[in-house]
Amino acid sequence: MLVRAQLLDEQALAEIYDRWSPALYRYALRLLGAKDLAEECVAETFSRFLVSLHQDRGPREFLQAYLFRISHNWMTDYYRSHRSALLPLDPAVRAACEDEPMQLSDLEAERGQVRAALSRLTPDQRQVVLLRFEEEWNSEMIAAALNKSEGAVKALQHRALESLRRMLLPSGMEES
Amino acid sequence: MTRKNISPDEKLQLLLARFRDVPARDPAAEAAGRRDFLKQAAGWRASASRTAQPSGAGAADRRVSFFQGRGFLLFPAGLAAVALALLMFFGGSAVTVFAAQNSLPGDVLYGIKTFSEDAAFFLPVSPQTKVDLTLRFTDRRIYEITGLQYAGRPIPEFAIERYQDELDLVLALAAGMDDPGMAISLEQASSHADGQLRQIVQLLDTGPDVSVLVLLQNRLREHVQKIELGKTAPQEFRLKIREEQEEKAGIDSNGSENVSQTPDTAPTIGRPSKTPDPGGDDTDADKPTKDRGKAAEFKGTIAAVDAGNLTLTLEDGSNRIFVLTSETKIRIPGFGHDATFADLKVGDGATVRAKKDESGVLVAESIDVEPVQPVLVRYAGTVTDYQAGAGIAIREKNGTLRTFLITSDTKIIFDPKDKSKNLRVGSEVTIAAVRDASGGTPTASEIAVKAPKAGKPATYKGKIAAVDAGSLTLALKDGSSLAFVLTGETKINIAGLGRGATVADLKAGDDATVRATTDESGALVADKIDVKPVQPVLDRYSGTVTDYQAGAGITIREKNGALRTFRITSETKITFAPKDQEQILEVGSEVTITAARDASGGTPIANEIAVKRKKKATPTHPEASLLPDVQICAGPPGWNGREVEKISWSIL
């Protein structure tokens, strides 16, 4: 598929988009919190992917990791240029939740806590946590996506979970 | 959710799981994103097919399709700011300038728009920037003309003349540059002209009166011809542009029609009135009047050739065009005296002896060719992807992945011992390719396929993409896939099932490691398959059933009030407590549901619904302890024995 993509074969590119854009969108939406920003991130990711193909700098393997790396870089840049980049949850995101109103408020509160805690991690830690626990990637894939060694990824995950434990599980709760 | 004795890590994961649910993506936005992506790819595919395009990001930017700049954006922000400052100095307002950018010829604000464009020439910018800017303005003119045409409004003459002025200005600026600069500018001009020509051709279908458009089309074609002249014969081009400018200046000084002096066009502030002579490129052969009839030799590389002309790129980078006649002698080593123009190849070195005829055209008397041996490089490795007639990727022993294009000229050679003659993923090959100096994907000139070595097992890791009784397809990490033959000898080991597993236990999606041997036919025969089933992460939820649709779905309310809905499939197991004689699942039942975590955020499927035994209400009759121990042995269908207590009470 990658060979055909390097030749800018329409069918191969369409397959790639259909296969990976949903996961990229979910990933971006969790991190950015706004649908239109997530769409922008996906669009920019695929646009940069095309540029790299055109310049023959495209991925030779691990296409999925490659796409997430582009997305990662885009979001890192975004965080740098927008200090308070972790936006409150888009109203449309809330409206789409299927839970009952009472339930919704609890869930929202919990999600808000998690989001706030994630926002206090470093960009790398945040992305490791999301890829590991939300996308259920293994360390090897995350390492490829973030262009880091597996050891570095494990260290990032360890530190991220430590921080999240401190923020989300006060000492009393940990014992329960 | 009720969970007993969960660890902090589990609790943290549960909290993170709260974050997992994301709303479905807007299908319209997704479709639009997909469309834009494929459109962008199509544009690049088209540009890639054009020849003589410089590579790199800058070139890519220049290749953006016509009108991609969308009107106002065609005006660079920095220059807009300068124009804005100038105009405000003369009494305009910021809003007026920006509002004017989308106006059309004949609109009230159009004069402001053209003024702001001309004001940009006050800037001390390089000729290259001015070329870039002017080309954007030519795009604007076509954009305006398109707007007028679609609005059914006439296209004023001054709009056409302004467009013509801008086309001329681009060529004049280019002619004033040195050869490399001129080449870049003309390449840009060519790209813009192509887009504009395409747009005019489309407009020809939009209305009955297209005479103005035909005029524009003709002018653009002349413009393109001049560009081509500039590309192939820079000095000739400079002379021509200089002559045109002098002619135009003569007309202007006589006070006759100066088409640029229209009420809507400002004087060409800062625009060059005369093409500077870059010098340094004159050769004797370029002076037709002086040395006509005297033969000269030109050494260089063949840049283009057809039955009538040959273009030679000289060592200084300039191009010369030579006319080929039946008298032209062509000598190519190895061809003897039989060589013809058809044997001349772009890229070959050549020495052309030519002299100018009376019209100043260089006529080739002889051509001596030194064929350039292409630098062939060989790469050996294992095929990881192969698309017949399109491309091939191999992994070298050191792990490097290399991709090559395959054309109709690519030779595929099989080892005589290879009876299968099958080039496929997994084949060992040696690829000969011409080194591509531009850094692009090289084209394979020869692919030598080695005979498969039988008896050497290799291990492959990936996900099972498909499996049936006789074959298994593994999706590898690099996106390629490999097919394996399964035999009665293939050992299958699945974690949890042990070595007794069979082909039927293999499932698509599971991670697998296949050890396989290539047989004499080249097929990969699986010796052993080790499978790690993708273990779904199971969550348990306990609560009271609030809704239950057998075979479809179930909703429970957890103790903390949370409502959870699960899908029920034919795979869902419903179990009852061992002592539960009623064995009823209904609204009100207490259940524990085990469900696989759904990464997509959809409604999870219940793997198992464990129904707890219903607590019997404590009898309140004072003689309750005296009730006979009634045992229900049988009853009508649907009868659950609940009435027995009532019967007992009534007996008492």
Picking from B81, B213, B239, B208, the residue whose alpha carbon sits closest to that of residue B160 is B213
B486-535: pLDDT as tens digits: 888 888 887 766 566 788 888 888 888 998 887 766 678 888 898 877 66
Ranking B9-18, B130-139, B209-218, B631-640 by mean pLDDT, the lowest is: B631-640
Residue B585, judged by CB atoms within 10 A of its CB (0-12, 13-18, 19+), counts as: middle
Q: Annotate chain A with DSSP letters as a single string.
A: -HHHHHTT-HHHHHHHHHHHHHHHHHHHHHHH--HHHHHHHHHHHHHHHHHHHHTT---SS-HHHHHHHHHHHHHHHHHHH-TT-SPPPPHHHHHT--S-HHHHHHHHHHHHHHHHHHHTS-HHHHHHHIIIIIS---HHHHHHHHT--HHHHHHHHHHHHHHHHHHHS-HHHHH-
pLDDT band at B68 (very low <50, low <70, confident <90, very high): very low
B17 vs A contacts (CB less than 8 Å) = 133
Contact B384, B393 (CB under 8 A): yes
For residue B73, pLDDT beyond 50? no
Contact B160, B212 (CB under 8 A): yes
Mean pLDDT of chain B: 72
B235-262: pLDDT as tens digits: 888 888 888 877 766 544 444 333 333 3
Mean pLDDT for the stretch of residues B541-562: 90
Residues A145 and A156: their CA atoms lie apart, in Å, by 14
Contact (CB<8Å) A3/B386: yes
Contact A134, A27 (CB under 8 A): yes
Contact (CB<8Å) B479/A136: no
Mean pLDDT for the stretch of residues B286-311: 69
For residue B72, pLDDT beyond 90? no
pLDDT band at B227 (very low <50, low <70, confident <90, very high): very high
The crossing angle, in degrees rounded to 10, of helices B179-203 and B211-232 is 160
Percent of chain B with pLDDT over 90: 5
Q: What is the DSSP letter of B498?
A: B
Return the pLDDT at B125. 64
Contact (CB<8Å) B41/A3: no
B8-59: pLDDT as tens digits: 677 777 777 766 667 788 888 888 889 888 888 887 776 555 433 333 333 3
Task: Select the residue from B2, B22, B39, B447 to test the A interface by mutation, using most A Cβ atoms within 10 A.
Answer: B22
Kindly identify which residue of chain A lies nearest to residue B28, measuring between CA atoms: A39
Closest-CA distance of chain B to residue A10, Å: 7
A93 vs B contacts (CB less than 8 Å) = 22-23
Question: In which residue ranges of chain A is pLDDT below 70?
Answer: 1, 55-61, 80-108, 170-176
Contact (CB<8Å) B478/A62: yes
Distant-in-sequence, close-in-space partners of A80: CB < 8 Å, separation ≥ 6:
none
A46 vs B contacts (CB less than 8 Å) = 33, 37
For residue B91, pLDDT beyond 60? no
Ranking B156-160, B276-280, B388-392, B462-466 by mean pLDDT, the lowest is: B276-280
- Residue B369's beta-bridge partner residues? B350
Tell me the HSE value of A160 on the side-chain side, using a 13 A CA sphere.
24
pLDDT band at B98 (very low <50, low <70, confident <90, very high): very low
Return the pLDDT at B343. 76
Return the pLDDT at B109. 60
Contact B335, B342 (CB under 8 A): no
Q: How much is the ipTM here? A: 0.77
A47 vs B contacts (CB less than 8 Å) = 37, 40
Of A55, A106, A168, the CB nearest to B12: A168
Neighbouring CB atoms inside 10 A of A46's CB total 26
Distant-in-sequence, close-in-space partners of A142: CB < 8 Å, separation ≥ 6:
A65, A127, A128, A131, A132, A148, A153
Closest-CA distance of chain B to residue A149, Å: 17
B336 or B167, greater pLDDT: B167
Kindly identify which residue of chain A lies nearest to residue B61, measuring between CA atoms: A51
Q: Give the pair of three-digit tokens for residue B525.
A: 């025969």
pLDDT band at B385 (very low <50, low <70, confident <90, very high): confident
pLDDT band at B542 (very low <50, low <70, confident <90, very high): very high
Residues A3 and B390: their CA atoms lie apart, in Å, by 8
Contact A125, A72 (CB under 8 A): no
Chains A, B: CB contacts within 8 A come to 161
Full-model pTM:
0.31
Residues B271 and B118: their CA atoms lie apart, in Å, by 9
